[in-house]
Amino acid sequence: MSNDQDKILEEVTGSDYKYGFVTDIENDAIAKGLSEDTVRLISEKKKEPEWLLEYRLNAYRHWLTMEQKEWAHLDIPEIDFQNIIYYSAPKPKKELASMDEVDPDLRETFEKLGIPLDEQKLLSGVAVDAVMDSVSVKTTFKQNLAELGIIFCSFSEAVQEYPDLVKKYLGSVVPSRDNYYAALNSAVFSDGSFCYIPKGVRCPMELSTYFRINAANTGQFERTLIVADEGSYVSYLEGCTAPQRDENQLHAAIVEIYVHKDAEVKYSTVQNWYPGDKEGKGGIYNFVTKRGMLHGDNSKLSWTQVETGSAITWKYPSCILKGNNSTAEFYSVAVTNNYQQADTGTKMIHIGKNTKSTIVSKGISAGKSNNSYRGLVKVAKGAENARNFSQCDSMLLGDKCGAHTYPYLEVDNPTAIVEHEATTSKIGEDQIFYCNQRGIETEDAIGLIVNGYAKEVLNQLPMEFAVEAQKLLQISLEGSVG
Amino acid sequence: MLSIKNLKANINGKEILKGINLEVKAGEVHAIMGPNGSGKSTLASVLAGREIFEVTDGHVEYMGEDLLELSVEERASKGIFLGFQYPVEIPGVSMVNFMKAAVNAQRKHRGEEPINASEFLKLMREKKDIVELDSKLTGRSVNEGFSGGEKKRNEIFQMAMLEPKLSILDETDSGLDIDALRIVANGVTKLKNKDNATVVITHYQRLLDYIVPDFVHVLYKGKIIKSGTKELALELEEKGYDWLIKDL
Amino acid sequence: MSTTTEIEKKYIDFYIDHKAILDQQSSDIVNKHRTQAIENFKFLGLPTSNDERYKYTNLSKVFDQNFDMRVGEQIVDLNVESIFKCDVIRLDAYLALLAKGQYVTKERVVSHDESIIVCSLKEAAKKYSQLFEKYYNQLAPQREDGVIELNTALAFDGVFIYVPKGKVVDKPIQIVNLQVDGKENNAIQLRHLIVLEDRAEAKLIFCDDSLTSNEHLSSAVAEVFVGENAHLEMSKMQNEHNESRNISNTIVRQSAHSVVTSNTVSLLGGVIRNNLHIEMDGEYCEANAYGIALIDKAQKVDTFTYIHHAHPNCNSNQLYKNIIDDEAVGVFSGTVLVDKNAQKTNAFQANNNIILTDKAKMNTKPQLVIYADDVKCSHGATVGQLDENAMFYMRARGIEEKDAKMLLMYAFADDVIRKMSITSLRENTEDLVRRRLSGELSLCRNCSSRILMNSTL
């Protein structure tokens, strides 16, 4: 491609991460390091019941016996788990009058991130649980939702208020020994969101969790648990950002979704953790286990993700299609630029009869990044008439990046139809010229073309998110065509 | 409006244009004809600013400015429109979004506010009638799944939307049946006025029955070897190019 | 490799015990590589299912049999004509015969041109030592695979083919590898070396057949060098029986403008694992890899391909199909690797599978690893059944269900068979596939049973 475009590339790839600020606030943090005592301390700080401490300790003891697997197409520097702070809570400057009151500094932080915590200022259709470092800061619209019997609160609050529900579902989808980072999370998770939609209730607004890492040297280990009871519906959004720092920070979360008979859950993520600078310094290690159990017949779960942030992303939002006629979808756009690495995809485990899954993955690699799709489609023996269709496309911008596709199809039933298709392409010089000739600048042309390429996925996002995501895509890729 | 002096251009070190001279004034229609490989499409691409061609010599003045100094999109914003011989498909990008981006780029260049949605849709509706473009097509991705004729009509539709000063239509007639040809040519004629100019590049005289040129030029081996009026096109149709080449 | 398993130890001990015999069999060049290879094997071990390359086939199980390994010279008394009484296909081709892990053909193979060499690996190492040394074991170690290292350590014979610059072999060369031992279960290691110099052309047909129903293991490694503008077509016909274990590693390095085509037809075999590695070592290379496997009972066919686009403007095409019946298991793992500078690469990879029963299983892993931006790469994989609408349509026209099924399966397989350029081979394959699909292939056409054949030898 031409020199001019190379120049634009040089100029703009280092475009600023606009969420990179730090909130100057005092923290109630525990000392660095990880041991049984750390686990006990976290549990104690959260005034947890005995059974939960046991759960954590079991996970911790098992974690000690585990090794990190190396099958992912990632170059992960060794992580010193003793050099991480496992609990850090922003300390309010003054005693707050009620649980619903928010420290002004925190309020300001979230406002800067575009997440006002005043219900009046919020978009009317979205309830937010705002999480900073290890604790939930505020959950909005709790009252309105409670009227419908919907529980939407921080995980810590759920442990205190609804222990039976938490006990019943915690670890039911992602067992504490599932994998290295799931075990770690199960031992040291601090806070997160809990959501329960009762039988037959259609949640009238989007529920949303916004995760913010603020404190330095801190790992964020949050936990989200969503339970959709029979015949219910909820659409859930997740967003995340972190300050710009030279050192890497670890984020190892778990999201569990339990979908009962005839229920439907849509889970959308716009992941924009700090990706590191253009030299590849700093950024978040995003090692996340997300899984949904489609337990009941006719249940439905849809994952949509727009992944633009993090230095390293390792995540495979998955679905276990246990109920008959259950339907699962995975839509993903993953963008990597500069030195980012992403190994992401999904697992679709077909167990029930007449189950159906769809995978649409669009990878975009730029700079010196590596972007891999890795997905498993498994059709178990009894899964009569299982259907899967996967479409995995990669787009390369520049010749210093990599795009990889690793699908695994395991079919154990003769009535299954499983199809996988993948393509790799680049933005054509002729496409850009065509746009240029119509007066559209190269930057905008790339934005247009990339958004067109990712449209199938972006269309799955709720309106407010879709616009945000489109902008994000363009910002993440600014000038990256060479 | 356009003044080309001794223009020479290379691709991969091979000289294609070997000293072109051409004057185009507002209100005129010029036809450039010539056998395959004579450099017709190269001339169109060079004027639009395609960077794979290297200009080695000569001058191009457009509206008092040095055209060769401008980027592709600057030229476009200043009113140069290239009707592509092979319009590119851009999957997933809807015609609406594409045209809106193009119209707004032009407005931005003129220091105007972006067009609002209803005004834009009105404009789209108005203009697509000029080339009898099916409204279904404007809802689809740019050129994706369009037939050859639809693609060419889409080019003229875009020309109508952008109201260029200088339109260069590169083999707009190729691949069209007679009905489509008539539609496209009528579209071009409707868009013609005293302030704009059109350069039509074509193989065949056929198109010139519909778009009547003021001047006809014959391009051969990178040079204009003969210029005349529309009678020249008829003569070429009858006798072919050989008699001209022999004269050289 | 942290610990050596019992099975690995068995092979290492065997090597130590038989080193003298092995060394005596081979030239210094081969023995030099042997010593290094056993060290590599100690380090690498046999691949386990933790190795992504062997995720679906645990080879240590295959090697964990009480096979009688043969390393010394065996007496082979074979009536060549009797071989073709059975289903070993007879073509208008030059014939080279391997049995009991040794090259047994005595006479000259390629008659039309003296400069074209087809002989035993053993003979080549001695007679053409300079040539041999230049190529032998130059590709194998890079695969870092314990199975290959074990082969380098234990193999002492196989076929050597050398086609000098600009020479064209006028007929296909058929290399028949026969299992003939009727008494014990045996294990053999074969090693082939194939060199086509610039502009040379050859077509090779490797047939694995068995005249015994005993369990046996055959592990073959072929190193293949294809010079500039050279053309090589290799076909592999695997037609043994349900107790056989057949592992092949074909490692190809091709130079600029060369064309390599590989056809694999797997009809009978207990466990078959075929590895095809192609390294494109110049611009404008073309590689085609096609395979069809028809498997039933408890058979397993595991196909592994790795095509490395290391230079610009190369094309690769892969089409692998499996029809899986009974409790059989099919595996496909294919990787296309496109290096950063390999611009204008065209790579296409497809794996289509039909599973016919509740117990049949297919695992497929088609992978693209791409570092260049101006490329056209795509892959597709499907697992499904016969098209019900087509079945119904045919039955509505009065075609019996079983015949309709066969017609569809045959059509499915034919996409691959059609790719074979040697007419007689293609026709024979069509016939074999047709008979295999109608369930007739477990019986030999020319004798009442395969087992009876033993007595004729």
For residue A171, which phi and psi values (nearest 5 degrees)? 80, 5
DSSP string, C7-18: HHHHHHHHHHHH
Residues in A closer than 8 angstroms to B72, CB to CB, are 433, 436-437
Picking from A391, A395, A436 by the largest number of B CB atoms within 10 A of its own CB, the best residue to mutate is A436
Q: Which is it for strands C329-338 and C361-370: parallel, antiparallel or unpaired?
A: parallel
Q: What is the pLDDT of residue A241?
A: 76
> How many structural domains compose chain C?
1
Residue listed under structure tokens 């053309």: C231
Nearest to A218 by CA among A315, A132, A307: A132
What is the tens place of the pLDDT at every residue in A127-161? 778 877 767 777 778 888 899 999 999 899 999 99
Test the C interface: residue of A341, A401, A420 with most C CBs within 10 Å: A420
Type of residue numbered C393: Y
Nearest-5° Cα angle at A303, A302 to A307: 160
- CA B182, CA B38: separation in Å to the nearest integer? 26
Nearest CA-CA partner of A137 in A88, A185, A188: A88
In chain B, % of residues over pLDDT 90: 39
Residues of A in contact with C383 (CB under 8 A): 379, 409, 411, 416-418
Residue C414 placed within a domain: no
Share of chain A above pLDDT 90, in %: 44
Q: Looking at the 3D structure of chain A, how many domains does it have?
A: 1
**C269-311, pLDDT tens digit by residue?**
889 999 999 999 999 999 999 999 999 889 999 999 999 999 9
Q: Give SS3 for A78.
A: coil
Q: Does A424 touch chain B (CB under 8 A)?
A: no
Residue spans of the domains in chain B: they are: 2-247
Closest Cα in chain A to B141:
A452
Q: What would the mean pLDDT of A343-370 be, rounded to a whole number?
A: 94
**Cβ within 8 Å of C, A 120-139:** none
What pLDDT, on the 0 to 100 scale, is given for residue C453? 34
Residue C449 touches partner A, C-beta closer than 8 Å: no
Supply the range of the domain harboring residue C305. 6-385
Q: Is the model more confident about C87 or about A248?
A: A248
**Mutating which of A425, A429, A440, A446 best tests the B interface, going by the most B Cβ atoms within 10 A?**
A440
Mean predicted lDDT score pLDDT of chain A:
86
| Residue type present at position A266 | K
pLDDT of residue A95 exceeding 80 = no
Question: Over 50: is that where the pLDDT of B129 sits?
Answer: yes
Q: Does A413 contact chain B (CB < 8 Å)?
A: no
Pick the range with the lowest mean pLDDT from A334-348, B73-87, B113-127, B128-142: B128-142
Does C203 reside within a domain? yes
Is A433 among the domain residues? yes
Residue B246 pLDDT more than 90? no
CB atoms within 10 A of CB B129: 12
d(CA B16, CA C156): 63
Residue A482 is assigned to a structural domain of this protein: no
Summarize pLDDT for C105-147 with one digit per residue, the tens: 888 888 888 999 999 999 999 999 999 999 999 999 999 999 9
Mean per-residue pLDDT, A193-221: 88
By DSSP bridging, strand C117-120 and strand C159-163 are antiparallel
Task: Supply the pLDDT for residue A14.
Answer: 41
The answer to whether the beta carbons of residues C196 and C173 sit under 8 Å apart is: no
Which residues of chain B make contact with A453, given a CB cutoff of 8 A?
91-92
> How far is Cα A243 from Cα A418, in angstroms, rounded to an integer?
42
Q: Residue A293: which of A269, A315, A263 has the closest Cα?
A: A263
Q: Whole-model pTM?
A: 0.78
Domain B2-247 CATH (choose: 3.40.50.300, 3.90.1570.10, 3.30.420.40, 3.30.360.10): 3.40.50.300
Alpha helices (H) in C296-446, listed in sequence order: 388-396, 401-417, 423-437
Backbone torsions φ then ψ of B21, nearest 5 degrees: -125, 130
Tell me which chain C residue has its CA closest to the CA of residue A396. Answer: C373
Q: Is residue C448 part of a domain?
A: no
Question: Which string of b and e fits A308-337 if b means at least 16 CB within 10 Å?
Answer: bbbbbbbbbbbbbbbbbbbbbbbbbbbbbb
Average pLDDT over residues B224-238: 88
Low-confidence stretches of chain C (pLDDT < 50) are 1, 446-457
- What value of ipTM does the predicted structure carry? 0.80
- Residue from A125, A143, A320 nearest A208 by CA: A125
DSSP secondary structure code for residue C317 in this structure: E
Q: Which residues contact C352 (CB under 8 A, 6 or more apart)?
A: C319, C320, C321, C322, C380, C381, C382, C412
In the predicted model, is pLDDT for residue A482 greater than 70? Answer: no
* Spatial separation of the C-alpha atoms in residues B17 and B55, rounded to whole Å: 9
Judged by average pLDDT, the poorest of A98-102, A244-248, C120-124, C139-143 is A98-102
Mean pLDDT of chain C: 87
More confident residue, A241 or A271: A271
How far is it, in rounded angstroms, from Cα B34 to Cα B220?
6
The domain of A273 spans 2-476
The alpha-carbon gap from A55 to the nearest alpha carbon of chain C, in Å, equals 29
Average pLDDT estimate for A440-455? 87
Q: Is the pLDDT of residue A243 over 90?
A: no
Q: Would you state the pLDDT for residue A96?
A: 56
**B176 pLDDT tier (thresholds 50, 70, 90):** confident
**Token pair in block for residue B16:** 């294609």
Contact by Cβ (8 Å): A293, A259: yes
pLDDT at C449: 40
What pLDDT score does A240 carry? 77
- E strands of A77-132, at which residues? 88-90, 126-132
The 3 state secondary structure assigned to B174-192 is CCCCHHHHHHHHHHHHHHC
CB C226 within 8 A of CB C252: yes
Give A147's contacts (C-beta < 8 A, 6+ positions apart).
none
C and A touch per CB criterion (3+ pairs under 8 A): yes
A449 touches B at CB < 8 Å: yes
Classify the phi-psi angles of C273: left when phi > 0, otherwise alpha if psi is within -120 to 50, otherwise beta. Answer: beta
Instruction: Write the DSSP assignment of C348-381 as a string of letters.
Output: EEEEEEEE-SSS-EEEEEEEEEE--SS-EEEEEE
| Residue from B5, B50, B38, B45 nearest B199 by CA | B45
